Amino acid sequence: MPLHVFISQSFSLVTGGIEVWKAAKDVLLFVAGPFLLFLSYKRGLFKDKTFRLLLIFGAMYAVLHGLFVLFDGDDDTYSAIVGSVYNTRLLIYLLIGYLVGSAKNGKKYLKYLLTVTVLVASVVSVLGILQYFLPSDLLTHVGYSLERGVKPLFFIDDNPDLPRIMSTLKDPNSLGSYLIIPILLTGLALFKKESIKKLFSIEFKRWQLAELLCVQLIALFLTFSRGALLGLIIGALTLVTLLNSKKVIIFLKNYWYIPLISLVILVVAIFSVRDTPFIQDYVFHAAKTTNEEDPNQKRVTLVQDATEDIIDEPFGYGPGSAGLVSITNPKGGVLTENYYLQIAYEVGWLGLATFIAILSVIAYQLFLTSSKSSVSAVLLSALVAYLFYSLLIHLWSNEAVSLQWWLPTGVVLGLNVKKNKIQR
């Protein structure tokens, strides 16, 4: 998935049919949906309480989107279908993961999956680092352009002196959020040696893990994605807390003033140099060296406008009316710059409540096993990071990010299904 944008843009230059390249994976995914459900039934997953609960909420969420597509005459049908696909394909990723996890060799498959996750992310990171130093118009030669749906280059506040990388993904923020899980996995294996065999199918040397982590962190830094960096910090702190809860509690009881003083020093330091071009450009993205409007103010305005519209229409305006799909919707739409507001705008408060219910069930199950399973701890920590970052971007609309979390999460939940209820 992290290579899909690059493959579809470059290969379609030779074959044509860029829309087919973009849509084929999702078409195959949804065609396989009924078969996957039938296989789940034959395997006995319907006997599992968590699976049934997620199935009920998932069905409600999918039906809600389907009702808009079928009966809302004010929507653009194509945009409504695409928006519905973007919002609900997460559930099929989860279902595939459930089937993999409940298979006979589920644990082995999970290790393969995590190994590939870290290795591919490292390749993507290296390509991103190279992109920072290579000519800025390089991707235009392999099909990247606004007309074909993907910007070939990004800058902070559109300042050519402040480039941002996106590697093979669609934009810098997507790359930053995509790298959070690989960094947490690699970092955990590096600093907790006994986790290597539990996480990966390859017995990495620690120096190898250090190199992989280094390129991943450099790539994330070069995205200059503030949300991704904050999300990573939140995820890392959550992971440390989950794996060392007793030690963290003791530390906070005895040395609570250390993190407080550190935070105060950081805030004071940033405030004292807040008007310098460096801080304005790289920290606040506030266009100190350009004539562009402050993007932070833009974000606030978008959130305010979307919130007012949601209050006016609590049942939603239909899939495709908000988020990334709305950019090409001929009937117009809004960029909420907030995934929760996007769902509420598209399928109303009921749709948002259903999506939150799905996440809550999953988070609870991951928490139950996080003390014994390193993978559960990493996925729960990444979810906490993503819950924060979803306040700032349309996070789950990116297929690389969503697949990388929902698929292994499904595998972990599948592994937790009682083995005596499974008919392999």
> Running DSSP on this structure, what letter comes out for residue 294?
P
Residue 423 scores a pLDDT above 50: no
Contact predicate 166/172, CB 8 Å: yes
**Rg of the Cα atoms in the chain:** 22
E-state strands within 138-232 = 154-155, 163-164
Q: What share of the chain is helix, strand, coil (3-state, %, to 5)?
A: 75, 0, 25
* Confidence band, pLDDT 50/70/90 cuts, at residue 250: confident
Q: pLDDT tens across 32-65, in order?
A: 999 999 999 999 999 999 999 999 999 999 999 9
Report the first-to-last Cα separation within the chain, whole angstroms: 29
Contact predicate 386/405, CB 8 Å: yes
- Region 122-149: mean pLDDT is 89
pLDDT given for residue 383 in this prediction: 97
3-class DSSP assignment, residue 154 = strand
- Annotated domain spans of the chain: 4-421
pLDDT given for residue 72 in this prediction: 86
Say which range, 16-30, 62-76, 104-118, 277-291, has the weakest mean pLDDT.
Answer: 277-291
Residue 289 scores a pLDDT above 60: no
Sign of the alpha-carbon torsion through 11, 14, 18, 24: negative
Which secondary structure element, helix H or strand E, spans residue 70, and what is its range?
helix 49-71
Q: How many CB atoms lie within 10 A of CB 102?
A: 27
Q: What percent of the chain has pLDDT over 70?
A: 92
pLDDT given for residue 114 in this prediction: 96
- Can you tell me the distance from the alpha carbon of 73 to that of 41, in angstroms, rounded to the nearest whole number? 36
pLDDT given for residue 359 in this prediction: 97
Residue 83 scores a pLDDT above 90: yes
Residue 262 scores a pLDDT above 50: yes
Q: pLDDT tens across 170-229, in order?
A: 999 999 999 999 999 999 999 998 899 999 999 999 999 999 999 999 999 999 999 999
- Region 243-262: mean pLDDT is 76
Query: Can you list the alpha helix ranges (DSSP code H) found in 102-191?
Result: 106-133, 172-178, 180-191
pLDDT given for residue 9 in this prediction: 87
Token pair 């100190």 is found at: 288
* Confidence band, pLDDT 50/70/90 cuts, at residue 311: very high
393: alpha, beta or left, given left = phi > 0 and alpha = psi -120 to 50? beta
Contact predicate 75/345, CB 8 Å: no
Residue 290 scores a pLDDT above 60: no
Amino acid at 77: T
Residue 288 scores a pLDDT above 70: no
> Running DSSP on this structure, what letter comes out for residue 169?
S
- Region 335-362: mean pLDDT is 95
Residue 291 scores a pLDDT above 80: no
CA atoms within 13 A on the CB side of 237: 10
pLDDT given for residue 420 in this prediction: 44
- Can you tell me the distance from the alpha carbon of 118 to that of 212, in angstroms, rounded to the nearest whole number? 8
The burial of 198, by beta-carbon neighbours within 10 Å (0-12 exposed, 13-18 middle, 19 or more buried), is given as: middle
For the full predicted model, state whether its pTM sits above 0.95.
no
- Can you tell me the distance from the alpha carbon of 387 to that of 50, in angstroms, rounded to the nearest whole number? 21
Residues 6+ apart with CB under 8 A from 100: 106, 109, 110, 113, 407, 410, 411, 414
